[in-house]
Structure 1
Amino acid sequence: MTDSELVSNTTSDAAGTAHSYVYCFLIDMIRSTSQRDRRSSVATDRFDDALDKYLDPLLEPLGLSAVHQHSTGDGFQLLTENENDLQALCCLGVIMSRRFRSQLAKMAAVPVDNVPSLRISICGGKGTKKRSGYVGTSGIRATRANKYCLPNEVLVDEAVRVYVCDDFDLELVDFARRPPDLKPEHVEDDYRLYSLKDLRLENLLESDLLPIYRFTLSETGREAKAHELLMELEKRLNRETQRLSDRPSETQLHVAKRWSILLNSQPDYEQARRVFERMVSEGIEPNVYVYSMLMNKSATFGEARAWLSEMERRGVEPNVVSYSTLLAKAPDYGAAVDCFSEMCDAGVRPNDKTYGCLLAKSPDYETAKAWMDQMSLNGVEPTSFMYAGMVIKSPDYATAMQWLDAMEKRGIVMPTPAYSMMMNKSTDYETALAWYESMRRSRIRPDVFTLNMLLEKAPDYPTAEAWVTELTGRHVVPDIVTFNTMIKRSPDNRNACDWYEKARALGLQPTLHTLIALVYHSLGLDEALDWMDRLVAEGITIDTRVVQPLLHLASTDESIERVRRKAKSVGFHLDVACFNVILRKTPNLDEAHKVVDDMRRSGIRPDENTYQILLRLTTDCESGVWILDSMERDGVVLTPEIGGLVIRNATNYRQGLDLLNRLRRRGMAITATVWDSLFHLDLTGVSAQELLETFVKEPMRPRQAMQSAISKYRIQERWDDCLFLVMNYPFLAISLAIMRKRFEPSCAYFRTFLDDPKQGHNAAYALGLALHAAGQDKEAIEYLRVARDGAGLGARQESLDKLIDSISPEGTTGGNDL
């Protein structure tokens, strides 16, 4: 590594591609395959589950949560561009080299001999960010270093040594003395590796990184040494503080800083508070960083808020760290926004951590996006985890892809969890499968979330079953969600019961969703109620999603009453959705009204679905209007769907049109649903011209509604009326079908209107489409041009231009020969 590379962490090549200097922490598990073969399948599942959970609890205390993680199959990489992370990476190396095997053995409940030893290396090199991670030489150098690594040894290269040599004992590797299988055939003169032995305890008291060093000592079983270290620092500070007033201001500042580091190194809030009180008693004035540390160690939002108030009372101005820490501890989004407003009112500028907390607490996508927009306006760069959060909150796959594209444009590496997120957002199985294959190419090990997403997206039960077999064979441990999905997707009752038994054999506790799936697969009400009894006895609390399918299975009044009693016995009272299930079983309106009366006696107010069910049971308009009056009293909004049901009970079109106008006066919107109901009525005595004149007066004229009117006239074989509407809407699917089937009569009818001042251009359009459909394009173009010339500017002219271009070599420039 050259001096210039140490000065700048970003360079460009001749093509202008930006390269960063990247540090790679590489872990390889030695002979992991043979170790795996020595474990039972159950033990292997436990081991893999423990391995998945091992790393994250170490990264956060070491300040490494933001580094990029990448699975390598037999290990993993951590990648960072920040040289300030190197001491923490070395601490991680010390912890894992000393404790990985014993900790994994305990977590997985397997013998230590069944846990592989590690090779660990930390090296630097140039790298380029890609969506899937970094591409460059640091990983290559770390891989090479691992070839010379003894079991549970940590090797670092020169690029790392220069940053960590003060705080760690390092020993230059003598390649000549390595075992034969770890001895390189050729070593360049300037190639050096260093074996990282341990922390240099004598130097730690003066280090600003004492908090992570204390954590490292604790994690490697040296809690007493860590405590001794902190007590020694406290004694030194007590001595230095006694004669502090006589010393230069720079020394006073240094001592105050050491007190704050001591406070931050404490393992818990109570110890930190004790150090704070000692500081104050020694006359050390706490600064904003001390208060922020105390806020961070506080167990509750209330405690953190109290420290902020204490800070302000003492005349210490909170900074962005103080407010961001408080905001992170806010119990909900509203409290977080209040903290943000307070921060802005104090004139403190938010940073990426502030916005990251707000994004995490945002209740929905639009709220989160608004914060991202505000970040951009304020010049704050989003992090990879913010982008990952936006992917999670995105309402659909396309939106999620936009965020991934934005990450790539900014050179931000796609975090590992984003792959499973994109599988979850995928609109179909093929897309989800493509993301899975991308995971495989990036050597990211699938987990149970990956498995569950594939099961959810699988097109059928055999495909889902095959995924369970494949990924459990690759040591993915299924959870109860896996089994719930397989129960839900089972083709029959026997398979559903088999999956339930498999889940119980693994010791998995059933959930509400387990019960729901089992009830749906039950062969009858008795079996379904038996499942409910069994799972309620295991602590499951039922809700409407269980009771509704039970009511569907009930075929008599007695069985419905049986379900009601059973639900009541476990603390559930029927809600409006359950009553609506009962309502759908009633044979007529009188019986339905009895159910509604029962619903009201139970304190349940009917909803829109209730009234839709009632209206479907009505046989005349006046009953429908009476139901609408009751609906208004219950405060249920008159929707087009409800209005359409009322109109369908009219005896003919004119009565239906009168109802439509009455409903309009009640505030109902006139939509395609309403027109469809109207045009399904008896059109006897109603000409197509009359119908069309009424239709075109409306501000909303959905084209699909006209298909119902055309269909009605066709069924009644009123061909003149049918073709009149076809002529005005020739582009509809039903119109094109009629013109093809009745080609000659249609063309003859349209020709009679060619000279009509109102309908001439419509007739030319319809005739042109009919001829085009019949393959007579030359004549069709002539009529289509007439229609185009009379269409004026707008969508119809544009569509005609495109159609003429598609069927004529001359395109739209040709003249009109008619």
Structure 2
Amino acid sequence: MERNDQLEGSAGENIEAYVLCLSIDLIGSTAAGLKLTTPQLNRFNISLANQIRPHLENLELKDALVKFTGDGWLVMTEKAKEFKALCCLATIMANKFQEEMNKRTGIAINKIPQLRLAICSGLDVSVELPNGHKDWVGDSARRATRACGWSHTNEVVINGTVREIALRDFDIKSITEKDHTKPKKWEEDFEVFSLGELNPEVSAEPEAPEYFIYTLKTIGKVEEANKFGLCVSECLGYTVRKQGIDEMERQEFLRNWNRLMASIPDYLSALKVFKMIQDAGLYPDVFTYSTLINKAPDYDVAKDWVETMRIEGIQPNVITYNTFINKAPDYDVAKDWIETMCAGGFQPNDVTYSTLFSKDLSGKLANDILKWYLAQKYHPEEPIQAAIATYQKLGRIDQVLRLVLDYPHLQSARKIIQEHSEEALQYFKKIFDDNPQHPNAAYALGVAYLELEKEQEAQWYLNKALKLATASLRKSVIKEWLRQIDHKQSQK
């Protein structure tokens, strides 16, 4: 998990600050982990980091200090502007963690741990750890960790200071020993409360509204998110018209409006915001139009917005193209737009190609896709996982295995090997038997046997693959796998 190691202050300086800490505890995570297979546990651990990351980004908590505890997360911030966003993160995790982890891993919801959550404040001091990273040490993490003991399943517990911060934006109830069990470790006796639902009707803060809308949308309250977004937009319009503002201020208002529009889930509501921007005398920019393209109900409407941009003389960017390609009705149309994008001097990225390979591939052969893709100037590995997922949904295991042959080390490929081990081994062996010098067959067999925990077979094929390998990265990876096998065998 990415973390912020740059706390404010000069190097070596210990800063005392008021910090809020969100403790996220996975209930019974050790017992749950022991019930998973090794591949399932690996997928769970990787997905654990991927699940929280987009929420940190969308709630503007990218600079928060994030630490994995072994049983969950600690998310800490000393920035007052992020305190309410931390409450939103807790609300999202309490409502959506199990569902999102189920979608990411394919593991049944009843096998995914539920959560205990708590947010507490404290006076902390910044310290430099032996590895050079910065950390907060003091009251906040200790209090939050202890307060988790009060939490019912998927409940967020807060202390009195956090209550004062969140009082006007969330429904909050007192916690007593009549309705909750006091933790065994409760050395510091302070009052705790239960953080309830976000109350959008009293949260109209035009300067930073988007994370409220994002939270409502994420937990499934789409109608409330739309209403709140329009309310905030009206406040912005009133503010712009009320006072004379210079160009710098106009651009800041437009950025606020763009963020607001991006957070609103409904196209018609976003369209109303667009009209308010125009009525306020501001000029929509590439981000405004890219958002409208993203929220357009279909390809034709999105294409009309692209044409509007052309008429207005607004140059699209990579985000615009990626968004529009996502709206394309099929693979061929999306591919044509990528070629248009390249002709315009824009370099497609991972998102571009992942979007393309998520289109319907039922009439496409993996060989043809690979031939075209590898001919591109930039062809990263990650989008291949999207193609694997698409073929898998179509039930085209033959095409899936063709991709896995060249990219067996990818996470999605390893999952395929686990789920279709007999078919995968048969497919790879046939190719190897037909051509022992095939550049990928021995490599795929080595990875497959490694994934299936058959080290002896894996070792033979990996040694063969090492002799055939030409890329330095593949050589180093194979050598590391062989080293691990040797070490494991020496321990027997």
Under a length normalisation based on structure 2, what TM-score does the superposition of the two structures give? 0.56
Kindly indicate whether residue 5 of structure 2 is the aligned counterpart of residue 397 of structure 1.
Answer: yes
Q: 8 Å contact 1:680–1:708 — kept in the other structure?
A: yes
In the alignment, which residue of structure 1 is the partner of 2:199? 523
Structure 1 partner of 2:208: 545
Answering whether residue 250 of structure 2 is matched by residue 603 of structure 1, we say no
Structure 1 position 628, deviation (Å): 2.7
Q: 1:486 to 1:777 in 2, by over 3 A?
A: same
Distance, in Å, in 2 between the alignment partners of 1:454 and 1:810 is 38
Q: In the TM superposition, what are the counterparts of 1:305-344 in structure 2 within 5 Å?
A: none
Aligned residue number for residue 427 of structure 1 = 65
Q: Which residue of 1 aligns with 2:458?
A: 780
Name the counterpart of 1:147: none
State the Cα distance separating 1:769 from its structure 2 match. Answer: 1.4
Q: Deviations over 1:685-704 (max 9, x none)?
A: 21000011111112322211
The Cα offsets for residues 389-426 of structure 1, whole Å up to 9 and x where unpaired, read as xxxxxx9537999943xxxxxxxxxxxx6343899999
Residue 376 of structure 2 corresponds to 698
Of 457-466 and 593-602, deviating more is 457-466
Shift of 1:643: 1.7
Output the CA distance in 2 between the equivalents of 1:593 and 1:555: 13
The residue that corresponds to 2:390 in the other structure is 712
Matched, 1:555 2:227: yes
Higher helix share: 1
Contact 1:764 1:783 in 2 (8 A): yes
Quote the Cα distance in structure 1 between the aligned partners of 2:378 and 2:487. 38
Say which SS state the counterpart of residue 65 (structure 2) adopts: coil
Post-superposition shift, 1:706? 0.5
In structure 2, do the counterparts of structure 1 residues 400 and 610 end up closer, same or farther at CA, with 3 Å as the change threshold? Answer: closer
- The equivalences for 1:233-272 within 5 A come to none
- Structure 1 pair 495/462, CA: closer, same or farther in 2 (3 Å)? farther
Write the mapping of 1:116-127 to structure 2, written as runs, cut at 5 A: none
The reply on whether 1:643 has 2:325 as its aligned counterpart is no
Q: CA deviation at 1:494?
A: 5.8
- How far residue 604 of structure 1 moved from its aligned partner, in angstroms, is 1.5
Q: Tell me which residue corresponds to 1:744.
A: 422
Q: CA deviation at 1:662?
A: 0.9
Question: Could you say what the CA RMSD is over the residues aligned between the two structures, in angstroms?
Answer: 5.0
- 1:566 and 1:464 mapped to 2: Cα distance? 45
Q: Is the 8 A contact 2:9 2:15 kept in 1?
A: no
Distance, in Å, in 1 between the alignment partners of 2:467 and 2:265 is: 59
Residues 197-225 of structure 1 deviation map (CA, whole Å, 9 limit, x = unaligned): xxxxxxxxxxxxxxxxxxxxxxxxxxxxx
Number of aligned residue pairs: 342
- Once the 2 structures are TM-superposed, how far is the Cα of residue 761 of structure 1 from its aligned partner? 2.8
Deviation (angstroms), 1:678:
0.1
Alignment of 1:485-524 (within 5 A): 487-488=164-165, 493=170, 523-524=199-200
Distance in 2, matches of 1:461 and 1:810, equals: 42
The answer to whether the Cα contact below 8 Å between 1:764 and 1:784 also exists between their aligned partners in 2 is yes
Residues 245-288 of structure 1: per-residue CA shift (max 9 Å, x gap):
xxxxxxxxxxxxxxxxxxxxxxxxxxxxxxxxxxxxxxxxxxxx
What residue number does 2:116 align with?
Answer: none
Percentage of pairs with the same residue: 19
Amino acid aligned to 1:578: W
Q: Distance in 2 between matches of 1:657 and 1:712?
A: 16
Could you say which residue in structure 2 is the equivalent of 1:105? none
Cα pair 1:751 1:763 within 8 Å, conserved: yes
How much has 1:791 moved relative to structure 2? 0.4
1:581 corresponds, among 247, 257, 260, to 260
1:661 aligns with 2:324: no
What's the CA shift for 1:772? 2.1
Unaligned runs of 5+ in 2: 21-62, 76-121, 127-134, 149-158, 175-195, 215-223
Structure 1 residues 760 and 491: CA distance shift in structure 2, 3 A: farther
Distance 1:655 1:448, change over 3 A: closer
**CA apart distance, 1:555:** 2.3
Q: CA 1:422–1:488 in structure 2 vs 1: closer, same or farther (change >3 Å)?
A: closer
The alignment's TM-score, normalised by the length of structure 1, stands at 0.35
Stretch moving more, 571-580 or 680-689:
571-580
Residues 318 and 347, structure 2, Cα contact 8 Å, conserved in 1: yes
Distance 1:747 1:550, change over 3 A: closer
- 2:169, 2:200 within 8 Å by CA — same for their partners in 1? no
Q: Give, in whole Å, the separation in 1 of the partners of 2:286 and 2:142.
A: 34
Matching residue within 679, 694, 701 for 2:357: 679
* Residues 801/567 of structure 1: CA separation in 2 closer, same or farther (3 Å cut): same
2:431 aligned counterpart, secondary structure? coil
Query: Aligned pair in 2 of structure 1 residues 429, 745: CA closer, same or farther (>3 Å)?
Result: closer
Is the CA contact (8 Å cut-off) linking 2:318 and 2:346 kept in structure 1? yes
Are the equivalent residues in 2 in contact too, given 1:788–1:797 (CA < 8 A)? Answer: yes
Q: Secondary structure at the match of 1:596?
A: helix
Letter in 2 for 1:581: L
Kept in 2: contact 1:767–1:783 (CA 8 A) = yes
CA distance in 2, matches of 1:483, 1:637: 50
Distance 1:422 1:766, change over 3 A: farther
Whole-Å separation in 1 of the counterparts to 2:210 and 2:396: 51
Q: Secondary structure at the match of 1:754?
A: helix
- Could you say which residue in structure 2 is the equivalent of 1:218? none
Instruction: State whether residues 5 and 65 of structure 2, in contact with CA within 8 Å, keep that contact through their aligned partners in structure 1.
Output: yes
Query: Within 5 A, what are the aligned runs for 1:333-372?
Result: none
Q: How far 1:754 moved relative to its partner?
A: 1.2
Q: Does 1:722 align with 2:400?
A: yes
The change in CA–CA distance for 1:797 and 1:756 in structure 2 (over 3 A counts) is farther
Structure 1 unmatched runs, 5+: 1-394, 405-416, 434-446, 467-481, 498-519, 533-542, 812-818
Q: Closer, same or farther in 2 for the Cα pair 1:619/1:604, shift >3 Å?
A: same
Q: Please give the per-residue CA displacement for 1:1-32, whole angstroms capped at 9, x wherever unaligned.
A: xxxxxxxxxxxxxxxxxxxxxxxxxxxxxxxx
State the Cα distance separating 1:625 from its structure 2 match. Answer: 3.7
Counterpart Cα distance in 2 of 1:675 and 1:715: 18
Deviation (angstroms), 1:802: 1.4
**Residue 14 of structure 1 aligns with which residue?**
none
* Contact persistence 1:621–1:647 (CA under 8 A): no
- Report the Cα distance in structure 2 between the residues aligned to 1:788 and 1:658, rounded to whole angstroms: 39
State the shift of 1:638 in Å.
Answer: 3.2
Deviations 1:371-392 (A, max 9, x none): xxxxxxxxxxxxxxxxxxxxxx
- Return the alpha-carbon distance in structure 1 between the equivalents of residues 437 and 140 of structure 2: 53
What is the rounded CA distance, in whole Å, between the counterparts of 1:460 and 1:491 in structure 2? 26
Pick closer, same or farther for the CA change 1:738–1:653 going to 2, 3 Å: same
1:577-603 Cα offsets, whole Å, 9 max, x none, are 3366368658546x7556434422322
Return closer, same or farther for 1:448/1:623 CA change in 2, 3 Å cut-off.
same
Q: Structure 2 matches for 1:74-113, cutoff 5 A?
A: none
Query: Match for residue 735 of structure 1?
Result: 413
Q: What whole-Å deviation, never above 9, does each CA across 1:456-488 have from its counterpart, x for those lacking one? A: 99459856999xxxxxxxxxxxxxxx9986644
Task: Deviation per CA, 1:287-344: give whole Å up to 9, x if none.
Answer: xxxxxxxxxxxxxxxxxxxxxxxxxxxxxxxxxxxxxxxxxxxxxxxxxxxxxxxxxx
Question: Relative CO higher for 1 or 2, CA cutoff 8 Å, sep ≥ 6?
Answer: 2
Letter in 2 for 1:555: K
The one-letter code of the counterpart of 2:227 is: S
User: Counterparts in 2 of 1:33-112, with a 5 A limit?
Assistant: none
Go from structure 1 to structure 2 and tell me whether the alpha carbon gap of 1:463 and 1:694 turns closer, same or farther (over 3 Å shift).
same
Q: 1:586 to 1:729 in 2, by over 3 A?
A: closer
In the aligned structure 2, how far is the partner of 1:794 from the partner of 1:666? 34
Q: Following the alignment from structure 2 to structure 1, what is the Cα–Cα distance between the partners of residues 441 and 257?
A: 54
Residues 1:592 and 1:759: Cα distance change in structure 2 (over 3 Å): farther
Relative to structure 1, the CA distance from residue 665 to residue 783 in structure 2 (aligned partners, 3 Å threshold; closer, same or farther) is: same
